[in-house]
Amino acid sequence: MSTPFNVRQAAVIGAGTMGRGIVISLARAGLPVLWLDNDPSATEAGLAMLAQTWAQQVTKGRIDQAEADACLARVCAAGAYADLADVDLVIEAVYENLALKQDIFRTLDRTLNAQAILASNTSALDIDAIAAVTGRPEQVLGLHFFSPAHVMKLLEVVRGARTSPAVIDAARALGQRIGKEVVVAGNCPGFIGNRMLATYVAEARKLLLEGATPRQVDEALQAFGMAMGPFRMYDVVGIDLEWRARQLAGTGMEAPLVQVDNALCEQGRFGQKSGQGYYRYAPGSREAEHDPEVDALVFKVAQGLGMHRRTIDDEEIRERCLLALVNEGAKILEESVADCSADIDRVYLHGYGFPAALGGPMHWADQQGLSLLLARLERLQGLFGEHWRPAGLLMRLVAEGKQLADVREGRA
């Protein structure tokens, strides 16, 4: 039976990195997609990339030519918003800037049929602030895909304050239809995954300034089992994304923790895409090679900030990065941004390369023993300050002899 939110025809706005992967995911699952970018050459290049991707799949024997042709035929470039009037769902994937996204949502709200669901692929912006510019906030939500969107399994479905349960159900069904691991998240900066990542990366960046090198931090965390250390990950994602977002927003450029990233971007070292970032890459290779010039740059930036560098061992790197992740995860659980600790674990297993054998950060924390973990956080708080204050939920669980796995919707 057809429900008001049955998605039969989709549209994607933005034909960059994410738009391309999202279009592939939708078309591959049989959905017709209209594709709009304000730069028509971006859609053209996107369509060529899609054709190439599906041709490669045929060569590898994963799909046959008829399937490749059918996938490509499902995707049509749109020339204007009016062409999207009858779609059931639109996913916006333009630059990470609130004012720009709000502009687009105003236009979508004016142009699309009243039943259409409006989704944003924002990585961290406020879904409610986007929904507020429309006359249909109950039909606005986040659909946070991970890069590359046609490969990564995770899809965070972000619930705004006014998103209706039927719209969340439709998003969940769509995610399952396109083969994603769906996790519903509440609306807060960074949602589940990127909010936790921010605390983890902040520790990694502090460790650089205090005395570690990018390679040392990455290797210490890879020895724990992370698929990729944070600086290798930044090279893959593109160091310039956050740098450009800071420039567009006009805030955050001065923060000490981003000075190494700023300096790298000023030298055009954006990561793999430019052949050099935190590491260097031989032409055509994705193999991260140590670059002593980056160590020298880190040293220079730290000196410029007046930091007294010291020897840091791998144990301290793991302790600080992993406990930062877990403590933020506990706050997310406490605030009901995630419904349960298993959802947080799924986000980290399917979107962030947390070692599968350890079951995810929250499961790992339970296995460590929460009272011991609490004592470790209190020690870090004593050494490094208030940002290490343990989540209230952890204190409560320890007092009650419970685990993170016992928490449901903020309560144990």
Q: Which residues bind ligand NAD (CB under 6 A)?
A: 13-19, 37-39, 42, 93-96, 100, 104, 121-123, 145-147, 237, 241
Whether residue 19 contacts residue 93, with contact meaning beta carbons closer than 8 Å, is answered with yes
Whether residue 109 contacts residue 118, with contact meaning beta carbons closer than 8 Å, is answered with yes
Q: How far is CA 354 from CA 24, 28, 81, 123, 341, in A?
A: 26, 27, 40, 19, 14
Q: Minimum distance between the CB of residue 47 and ligand NAD, rounded to whole angstroms?
A: 13
Q: For residues 368 and 362, give the distance between their C-alpha atoms in angstroms, rounded to a whole number.
A: 10
The residue nearest ligand NAD at its CB is: 16
Residue whose CB is less far from ligand NAD, 96 or 235: 96
Residue whose CB is less far from ligand NAD, 137 or 271: 271
Q: Minimum distance between the CB of residue 396 and ligand NAD, rounded to whole angstroms?
A: 33
Annotated catalytic residue within 144, 150, 350, 363: 144
* 3-state SS assignment for residue 195: helix
Residue 402 burial (CB count, 10 A): 15
Single-letter residue type at 90 = V
Q: Minimum distance between the CB of residue 271 and ligand NAD, rounded to whole angstroms?
A: 11
Residue whose CB is less far from ligand NAD, 103 or 293: 103
Residue whose CB is less far from ligand NAD, 194 or 199: 194
Tracing tokens 């059931």 back to the chain, one arrives at 88
Whether residue 27 contacts residue 75, with contact meaning beta carbons closer than 8 Å, is answered with yes
Q: Minimum distance between the CB of residue 137 and ligand NAD, rounded to whole angstroms?
A: 19
Question: Is 363 a catalytic site residue?
Answer: no
Residue whose CB is less far from ligand NAD, 145 or 270: 145
Q: Minimum distance between the CB of residue 35 and ligand NAD, rounded to whole angstroms?
A: 10
Name the phi and psi angles at 314, rounded to 5.
-60, -30
| CB environment 311-325: b (16+ within 10 A), e (fewer) | ebeeebbbbbbbbbb
Whether residue 203 contacts residue 136, with contact meaning beta carbons closer than 8 Å, is answered with no
Q: Minimum distance between the CB of residue 146 and ligand NAD, rounded to whole angstroms?
A: 6
**End-to-end CA distance of the chain, in Å?**
38
Q: For residues 336 and 347, give the distance between their C-alpha atoms in angstroms, rounded to a whole number.
A: 15
| CB environment 261-281: b (16+ within 10 A), e (fewer) | bbbbbeeebbbbebbbbbbbb
Tracing tokens 């949602």 back to the chain, one arrives at 191
Residue whose CB is less far from ligand NAD, 93 or 321: 93
Active site residues: 144
